[in-house]
Structure 1
Amino acid sequence: MAKIRNSVPKGDKTLDIRLTQDGWTRMKEPKKFVNALLLSVPFMIINALISIGTINIFSDISLREFGLTTEGVFITIDLVSLLLIIFLVILHELIHLIFIPNFIKSEKTWIGLTLFGGFVATEEEISKPRFVLITIAPFFIISILTPLLLSVFGALTTTLKCLILLNSMASSVDMLTLLLILKQVPPNSILRNNGSKTYWKCTKVKSQTLEL
């Protein structure tokens, strides 16, 4: 079963060498989380705009709802708000987790919380389409599908709007990862991680026409 831990797996240097020898290619990606966070800022803005647009289809949304007025910023954070944010972080990571193949039986999959938020890590070999699905699922389900469903039932409150937007912005690193995968990993490939490093490998060789 997926294991619970309080730190992201660091990976094995020996495994890095073995993967390279076995034909795996390391994906070019930020080496530090801080760098990834900075590079993901444009996606943070884009994600927020997408969610605002989705909410605005059925419900009005304004800066005043979130405590932003011409007189200043008025934001109240109480225990309930903190608990809701923690719940959002856990839900976001659980959605990542449930799309990992055989996550219940996997001995190479982990979930946990750190000071910087939650994480899900796996060293299972995963097809590119499934890896993409795992990456974008929390953003799509929480920040696009959920506001549409809640709007139908008239249950889209200001608190839920805040949580939806928070999830959108928190999904910015996921969107950066998505872009890197789409740009670097060919179709018909599988991916796997060793700690924070991502590797890919083609599973099909393109046929070549021999000219005589």
Structure 2
Amino acid sequence: MRIRNKIPKCNKEKNALLLGDGWILIKEPKNIIQSIIFSIPLMIFLGFISIYIINLFSPITLADFGVQQHNFSMTINVVDIFIIIIFIYIHEIIHLIFVPNFLNSDNTFLGLTWFGGYAYTEEIITKERYIFIAAMPFLLISVGSILILGPIGYLTPILKFICIINAVASSVDFLNIILISIQVPNKSKIVMNGELSYYKTT
């Protein structure tokens, strides 16, 4: 595993080699902005899933998020902002640790950038593993943590907020899951080359 501070770019030579070796390009949004736009319905859907599960244990109120109803003011806690930033990286680290052999891989990266972070690998992985990696931050943070902390009464306002924000942020991951599920046959392998993804049936 290595650390990067830049978004990975497509290697044109690798692209030609992969296509020549029978890998098929997966149709995806051309950039992160398009991915976010196409993910908006999923943001709403995943956010509501997290809110619904939270409400099973602890109803969400405006006061949970520092909003005072009478004067419409909002309290912003610097410590809470720091915790949210930490969880942005935890989201990416969860992706990372489910990449096979990530610690010893020279083709797996944790990105530290101005917008937060990203996890990225150029290792060849199965379709099933790709979907598993993409889904885990949502399942662990926005579902699993609620089911664990809710029954014992430890869903604090900041944890509720983090679970919801993580669910919304997982929308691009789930857009990728949908694209992979539709385009890639079962038992196929997937590889990344910068912003491009390819598959090959085994």
Q: TM-score, normalised by structure 2?
A: 0.95
Aligned to 1:201: 200
Structure 1 Cα separation of the partners of residues 119 and 84 of structure 2: 17
Residue 30 of structure 1 is matched in structure 2 by 29
Q: 1:126 to 1:150 in 2, by over 3 A?
A: same
5+ residue gaps, structure 2, are none
Distance in 1 separating the partners of 2:131 and 2:146: 22
Query: Which position in structure 2 is the counterpart of 1:138?
Result: 137
For each residue in 1:57-103, what CA deviation from the matched residue of structure 2 results, as whole angstroms up to 9, or x when unmatched?
Answer: 12212334224565565333232122101110111011000100000
Distance 2:33 2:72 in 1: 27
* CA contact 1:90–1:118 (8 Å) conserved in 2: yes
2:180 aligns with 181
**Which amino acid is 1:23 matched to?**
G
TM-score normalized by the length of structure 1: 0.91
Q: CA RMSD in A?
A: 1.4
User: What CA distance in whole angstroms lies between the structure 1 residues aligned with 2:103 and 2:80?
Assistant: 31
Indicate how the Cα distance of structure 1 residues 72 and 29 shifts in structure 2: closer, same or farther if over 3 A, else same.
farther
Residues 74/163 of structure 1: CA separation in 2 closer, same or farther (3 Å cut)? farther
How many matched pairs? 202
Pair 1:113-2:90 in alignment: no
Secondary structure at the counterpart of residue 65 of structure 1? helix
Range that drifts further, 182-191 or 69-78:
69-78
Distance 2:87 2:181 in 1: 27
Q: Distance in 1 between matches of 2:71 and 2:44?
A: 21
User: Which residues in structure 2 correspond to 1:153-164 (within 5 Å)?
Assistant: 153-164=152-163
* Cα offsets for 1:145-190 (capped at 9, x unmatched): 0011001221111111011111111111111111101111110101
Paired with 1:36 and 1:99, the residues of 2 have a C-alpha distance of 23
* Residue 20 (1) aligns with residue 16 (2): no
Matched, 1:47 2:46: yes
Helix, strand or coil: the match of 1:104? Answer: helix
SS in 1 for 2:17: helix
Q: Which runs of 5+ in 1 are unaligned?
A: 204-212
Structure-2 change in CA distance of 1:110 and 1:72 (3 Å) = farther
Aligned to 1:6: 5
**Larger CA deviation: 137-146 vs 166-175:** 166-175
**For residues 81-100 of structure 1, what are the structure 2 equivalents within 5 Å?**
81-100=80-99
| Contact map agreement 2:9 2:193 (CA 8 A) in 1 | yes
